[in-house]
Chain A
Amino acid sequence: MILDPLKPAFNPVDLAVPLFVVTIVAEIVLGRLRKARVVYEVKDTATSLLMGIGSQIAGLLTLGLVGAVTFWAYEHRLFTLPMNAWWAWVAVFFLEDLTYYWFHRLSHERRFWWASHVNHHTSQHYNLATALRQTWTGGIAGTWLLWIPLIFLGFPPAMVAIQKGVSLVYQYWIHTEAIRKMPRWFEAVFNTPSHHRVHHARNPRYLDSNYAGILIIWDRMFGTYIPELDEEPCRYGVVHNLGDFNIFRVAFHEWMAIGKDLAGSRSIREVGGYLFGPPGWSPDGSRDTSATLKAKWRAREATTVSPSAAAETVPLQAAE
Chain B
Amino acid sequence: MNETLIKLAVSAGFVVFMIVVAGLARIARPVAPLDESTARALLAAEFPDRTPDLMWIAGDGAGAVGRAGAEALVVYRLGDSWVARTMPWTLALRAPVKRGRVLLKLRDPAAPMARLVVSGVNPWPPQQSEEALAA
Number of interface residues of B (CB under 8 A): 48
Whether, in the assembled complex, A52 has its beta carbon less than 8 Å from a beta carbon of chain B, the answer is yes
Q: Do B12 and A243 have beta carbons less than 8 Å apart? A: no
The interface-forming segment of B18-26, B52-60, B92-100, B119-127 is: B18-26
Q: Which residues of A contact B31 (CB under 8 A)?
A: 316-317
Residue of A nearest to B107 (CB): A260
Q: A53-B11, A243-B106, A310-B48 are in contact. Are A44 and B17 (CB under 8 A)?
A: no
Whether, in the assembled complex, A89 has its beta carbon less than 8 Å from a beta carbon of chain B, the answer is no
Q: Which residues of B contact A41 (CB under 8 A)?
A: 22, 28-29, 79-81
Whether, in the assembled complex, B27 has its beta carbon less than 8 Å from a beta carbon of chain A, the answer is yes
In the bound complex, CA of A260 to CA of B17 (Å): 38
Inter-chain residue pair count (beta carbon < 8 A): 153
In the bound complex, CA of A21 to CA of B19 (Å): 11
Whether, in the assembled complex, A296 has its beta carbon less than 8 Å from a beta carbon of chain B, the answer is yes
Q: Do B110 and A42 have beta carbons less than 8 Å apart? A: no
Q: Do A129 and B79 have beta carbons less than 8 Å apart? A: no
A115 to chain B, nearest CB (A): 11
Q: Which residues of A contact B76 (CB under 8 A)?
A: 243
Q: Do A21 and B18 have beta carbons less than 8 Å apart? A: yes
Whether, in the assembled complex, B102 has its beta carbon less than 8 Å from a beta carbon of chain A, the answer is no
The interface-forming segment of A92-100, A101-109, A150-158, A251-259 is: A251-259
Q: Which residues of A contact B26 (CB under 8 A)?
A: 32
Q: Do B22 and A242 have beta carbons less than 8 Å apart? A: no
List the 5 closest A-B pairs by CB distance, nearest first: A243-B111, A256-B109, A124-B81, A314-B45, A317-B29
Whether, in the assembled complex, A7 has its beta carbon less than 8 Å from a beta carbon of chain B, the answer is no
A54 to chain B, nearest CB (A): 10
Secondary structure at the A interface, as helix, strand, loop or mixed, is: helix
In the bound complex, CA of A71 to CA of B3 (Å): 23
Q: Which residues of A contact B17 (CB under 8 A)?
A: 21
Q: Do A319 and B21 have beta carbons less than 8 Å apart? A: no
Pick from A39, A44, A125, A242: contact of B83, CB under 8 Å: A242
B76-90: which have CB < 8 Å to A? 76, 78-85
Pick from B7, B14, B83: contact of A243, CB under 8 Å: B83
Whether, in the assembled complex, B131 has its beta carbon less than 8 Å from a beta carbon of chain A, the answer is no
In the bound complex, CA of A242 to CA of B108 (Å): 10
Whether, in the assembled complex, A14 has its beta carbon less than 8 Å from a beta carbon of chain B, the answer is yes
Q: Do A316 and B32 have beta carbons less than 8 Å apart? A: yes
Q: Do A313 and B18 have beta carbons less than 8 Å apart? A: no
